[in-house]
Structure 1
Amino acid sequence: MGFENMDFAAGEVLLIDKPLEWTSFDVVKKIRYLIKIKKIGHAGTLDPLATGLLILCTGKKTKSINEYQGMEKEYVGKMVIGKTTPSHDLETEISEGGPIDGITEEDVRKVTEKFTGDIEQIPPIFSAIKVDGKRVYKSARKGKEVKLEPRPVSVREFEITEVNFPEISFRITCSKGTYIRSLVRDMGDELGCGAYMSALRRTRIGEFKVDDAYQLNDFVKQYQEFRDESLPGD
């Protein structure tokens, strides 16, 4: 659908492929300024070091944000075993974990079974969850101890797609609230060597696919061209 058929005030659902190192709010802010609308929000945060599908709702469609947030998510990503980081990804410094010499591909595939189905997981301390009204990542960055309780989540599929030690590629479909970094952390603990997430991409939310999403730069460029063409001539 072209921009000429869009009514952002009445409500539109925009699919954006979030770039690396952008926060989800950065994307919202960029498009809010571009299309000149105040009422806009996203349906599910992606960490800055993750890429992939971000659903944005404008105008009256913002009422549907909770509905989209509740949909099943699909991710593809990579983990590195035998090393760890405090944030369980590349945001913080890498430390040595345990030896991986005795770990086989079969061991890796077997461990995923423990983290498939209805499980409980402790969110990462470097996350936007609030405890006592404060974002826990702010406390974590100051070196303060933060205690988070386990939360129920559902992992429908945890597929190992490639093993090239120490790197392991995977695909996961899961419920709202699932932290992939926590799955990677817990998998590393179960293997006895530690692990951190080296890459993550969200490929699907419900029936919405990243293949159908705009690259952010393309959206900006195309909308600016549309806007310029729509301006009255001299």
Structure 2
Amino acid sequence: MDGLLLVNKPRGMTSHDVVARVRRILRTRRVGHTGTLDPMATGVLPVAVGRATRLVEFLMAGSKTYQASLKLGEITDTQDADGQVVERREVPALTQDEVVSACRGFLGEITQIPPMYSAVKKDGVPLYRLARQGIEVERAARSVYIERIVLHSLNLPFVDLEIDCSKGTYIRTLAHDLGEVLGSGAHLTGLCRTRSGSFLLDECISLEDLSEDARPGQAPGFLKLVDILRDCPRLRVDNEGAARLSVGIPPLIEQVGVSACREGELIALVLDERLLAVARYAPARLQEKRGDFELLRVFPEAAAA
């Protein structure tokens, strides 16, 4: 069984909990998620099954969209509602224009310091384990990109936002930092990921609706291997190119059903609705007699079928 299951993660479960539940329901061990959601968060969690686990790194790279709810006036040790309140402040009579102006200051490339209650590791130890022991360590700042922040509602002390951002963005930290700019402090009270890459919340299935006989391409929210990399051009390989791929040799450009590709572009190579390989177009490699494509993932059993 090979495919991508689009799960609407419920509140209160970790991403690893979801993986464990999928393993039990589908009775398969080879399962992995494509990007952690905090226990408090809900929404789109793509879960790879079988050979789809080999595609996880390509799926994690996409941007995300979140619906976030903040409460001003309270700062917590986890930066969200699951933590303990460590400071309370007065909430000024903020206007929508003032909140929108503060949000604009976070657009573009920004740096974030990962929260102590996170899965980031320090010397091999997850930060959240240190935090539970009352230990705080220095963390390196990370660059992330905020493409869009929309203010949906302002009902003090509560603020509802929609955020488009790069992978690796901590919405908890964004809420905390926005609270500092507004002067009131803030923490995250609700979070729903409505998009991960090209996968939307409307496509997802709940764990309660997932049955043990679900199969990729047949059950709702369960994509076949060949349909997973839908953001990439899908190029059809001829029989000669498939034969080369079956033994791990990149195809030539004339063995692929296009006249030209963009150099460095990520490509899905397919034949008869089977994913044969994921590759990058690399014409310079031809000078080394290594073919026109740099193979990143090959599924030789599909190529030989």
TM > 0.5 between the two? yes
1:61 has 2:61 as partner = no
Classify the secondary structure of the residue corresponding to 1:153: strand
Is 2:26–2:213's contact at 8 Å kept on the other side of the alignment?
Answer: no
1:80 has 2:54 as partner = no
Is 2:25–2:212's contact at 8 Å kept on the other side of the alignment?
Answer: no
State the distance in 1 between where 2:90 and 2:121 align: 35
Aligned to 2:105: 114
Q: What is the aligned-residue identity percentage?
A: 36
1:174 has 2:165 as partner = yes
Q: Which moved more, 1:212-221 or 1:190-199?
A: 212-221
Which of 173, 177, 180 pairs up with 1:186?
Answer: 177
Residues 168 and 87 of structure 1: is their aligned pair in 2 closer, same or farther, counting only changes over 3 Å?
Answer: same
Which of 210, 216, 230 pairs up with 1:219?
Answer: 210
Is 1:97–1:195's contact at 8 Å kept on the other side of the alignment?
Answer: no
State the distance in 2 between where 1:77 and 1:128 align: 20
Aligned to 2:9: 18
Is 2:26–2:211's contact at 8 Å kept on the other side of the alignment?
Answer: no
CA deviation string 1:174-199 (max 9, x = no partner): 11100000100100111111100000
CA deviation string 1:68-101 (max 9, x = no partner): 1111111001000111101010111124432213
How many correspondences in the alignment? Answer: 215
Is 1:112–1:158's contact at 8 Å kept on the other side of the alignment?
Answer: yes
Classify the secondary structure of the residue corresponding to 1:214: coil
Is 1:112–1:187's contact at 8 Å kept on the other side of the alignment?
Answer: yes
The answer for unaligned runs of 5 or more in structure 2 is 219-305
The answer for unaligned runs of 5 or more in structure 1 is 1-7, 227-234
The 5 A counterparts of 1:141-180 are 141-180=132-171
Code of the residue aligned with 1:136 in structure 2: it is L
CA deviation string 1:193-228 (max 9, x = no partner): 1100000000001111011100110114774xx9xx
Bigger proportion of residues as helix:
1
Larger relative contact order (C-alpha < 8 A, sep ≥ 6)?
1
Is 2:25–2:210's contact at 8 Å kept on the other side of the alignment?
Answer: no
Code of the residue aligned with 1:45 in structure 2: it is T
> When the two structures are superposed, what TM-score results if normalisation uses the length of structure 2?
0.68
Bigger radius of gyration among the two: 2
State the distance in 2 between where 1:103 and 1:140 align: 33
Code of the residue aligned with 1:61 in structure 2: it is A
Code of the residue aligned with 2:200 in structure 1: it is K
State the distance in 2 between where 1:36 and 1:93 align: 38
Code of the residue aligned with 1:33 in structure 2: it is R
Superposed CA RMSD in Å reads: 1.5
Residues 62 and 54 of structure 1: is their aligned pair in 2 closer, same or farther, counting only changes over 3 Å?
Answer: same
1:70 has 2:70 as partner = no
1:135 has 2:126 as partner = yes
